[in-house]
Structure 1
Amino acid sequence: MALAEQVYEHLWTRSSTTCSLLKLTQLDSAQPDVSHAGGITDVIKIASMVDAYDIALAPHSPLGPISLAASLHIDAVAPNAIVQGQLLYRPEAPNYLQDSSYFEYDSEGYIEFQDAPGLGISPFLMKLKKQKLVTRG
């Protein structure tokens, strides 16, 4: 029973439903969203689950630079990661980073992985608190 070529970001968790779905479908790629699927650790576990079925990983990351940084860390360790989706930068979009050079990509579309601590980014915490995106820190 083939449902689709891809199963979208909100369907991915480590639940028994996901495991059953993997057995019943012929997926080309999985698109878990780190912000909805349980965080970095759970998406890495999902990557391992789908890799066992020869399914590629294409993390979904539409929520901004912080979730993109988390997704890039997943890409760095998941052997089945094939592409990283992201929204293109828009000047009117809120910028919560002190330095967005982390996301500059080369002429072939690759981003050089950084070795800075944590996610490798430095958000403006006061901006995030003002928008009620961070409640502590």
Structure 2
Amino acid sequence: MLKLIFAATILIASNASAGSIIFRSPTSGTLAAIADPAPTQPEPEQPAFGIRYQPIQVAAGASISIMPIGDVSGYTFAARNPLPPALALDAATGKIIGLAVVAGIYNITIRAAKDSASSDLMLSITIS
């Protein structure tokens, strides 16, 4: 009978609902919940090899000439996805030239390589 009264006392004194788990400390009562630390912001990705492209916005029909920013000597460049129509990439300099003919937003990935290392550079071209 004593065991039954003890079990009833625990259920009455607890604010736990069915199926919930409450952790109790023998010295201080209910243990406080500890929240996960705030997630840290990832560091922004650094440009590969110190080379990068600036986003560009032009009107349809305009001439485009885009050079990568940074020291490009000794690098080779290749487009990882298609360039907008009528634009071409110079593999030795990374320069993109041509005429903006088709309106749209183009997110282009250019692979820069030197020796045995390579990395992708992102370029956004908006033609309106």
Do they superpose with TM above 0.5? no
TM-score (norm 2): 0.26
Q: Which structure is higher in RCO with an 8 Å CA cutoff and minimum separation 6?
A: 2
Q: Which has the larger radius of gyration?
A: 2
TM-score (norm 1): 0.25
